[in-house]
Amino acid sequence: MVCVRPNIPVYNNSEMTGRYYEEFEINVKTGESNLTQIYLKEGLDFISQQAMAQRPFFLYSAPDATHSPVYASERFLGKSQRGRYGDAVMELDDSIGQILAHLVSLGIHNNTLVFFTSDNGAAVMSGPHQSGSNGPFLCGKETTFEGGMREPAIAWWPGRIPAGTVSHQLASVMDLFSTSLSVAGVLPPNDRVIDGLDLSPVLFNNSLLDRPIFYYRGNQMMAVRIGQYKVHYWTWSNSWEEFNTGINFCPGQEVPGVTTHTQEEHTMQPLIFHLGQDPGERYPISVQSEEYRDVHRQVTAVVEQHQKDLIPGMPQLNMCDLAVMNWSPPGCEQLGKCLKPPESNPWKCVWPH
């Protein structure tokens, strides 16, 4: 049988230990998989080893049970009121609780920062059984509307971060790099521009940092947010090509002139929303209003400075090549799982979304 694409490998450090759907089973029909429990055990064991050796540690735990195909272990399947997706979320919640309890049991919770967030909004294009809800926010994953980009964030550090504190700070996952270095007492590298900010003043003093957030889709800056205002220079949900096959990035949320299926330019007269009053991005502020002119003037200066300071990087997703996929990763020899790659035949990638 010819393998068109290899299944995703699972690594222990740099060595492959198996592949999804093979050694690490996901039953797509029933939704059962023990992967979340496997990841949890690895995380707990790692914390124990580091604590016993009195070594500082960084644990990045990113279970993918809520990513299609959604799955949960036998103990959680059918236990929530939200179907398989709810089961997966319930198991993730339980896993996080076990990690926090483990930190407490080891007596290191007062010296450990835990930060919970996500990389994007719910993938609503996957349908109600394979994705979550973005509530009042527009569209979902793979868009630069709030449903695609806004995620929850919870920081936990007993004795350092007061419980129940709420912050309205605008932040990005890029900030976690700078923040982690800061709390560890490590200086960031000085040979490059660091995009993330140190959120320590926000976490420990509930300060607010004045900063913009830039929304990119590929190389294109689509929107900018400053405070409660969000300014769209381009709009796009997903292509007509995808939409006509039943893939909808904004199911039940079409907003004329906003959730466009072609990439529409608004740079001469951007769409501006006040997210405090209109979190769903449905009612653009009138271009004839003084409010619009004031916000446009302020944001234009910020964008011009951003573009002036920006150092373009080399795009890494412009060319595709099946030969570079994980056919024979390190460790495959011991498992007898090495696959012969096809000949290298690069082509220009097509991203319909």
Q: What does the pLDDT look like over 85-114, one tens digit per residue? A: 999 999 999 999 999 999 999 999 999 999
A 10 A CB-CB count for 313 gives 7
Please answer whether residues 143 and 250 qualify as being in contact, where contact means their C-beta atoms are separated by less than 8 angstroms: yes
Instruction: Kindly state the tokens that stand for 77.
Output: 């399947």
The confidence score (pLDDT) of residue 3 equals 67
The confidence score (pLDDT) of residue 151 equals 93
Average model confidence (pLDDT) across the chain: 94
Distant-in-sequence, close-in-space partners of 324: CB < 8 Å, separation ≥ 6 = 344
* Residue 314 pLDDT level (bands cut at 50, 70, 90): confident
What values do phi and psi take at 301, rounded to 5?
-65, -40
Position 312 pLDDT exceeds 90? no
User: What average pLDDT does the segment 329-353 reach?
Assistant: 91
Task: Report the percentage of the chain scoring pLDDT > 70.
Answer: 99
Q: How far apart are CA 156 and CA 115, in angstroms?
A: 6
The confidence score (pLDDT) of residue 4 equals 83
Query: How many angstroms separate the Cα of 316 from the Cα of each of 149, 216, 319, 341?
Result: 21, 15, 7, 21
Please answer whether residues 236 and 260 qualify as being in contact, where contact means their C-beta atoms are separated by less than 8 angstroms: yes
pLDDT tens digit sequence for 192-208: 889 999 999 999 999 99
Of 292, 254, 247, 243, the residue nearest 131 (C-alpha): 247
User: What average pLDDT does the segment 295-324 reach?
Assistant: 92
Instruction: Kindly state the tokens that stand for 157.
Output: 């550090």
The confidence score (pLDDT) of residue 58 equals 96
Position 2 pLDDT exceeds 70? no
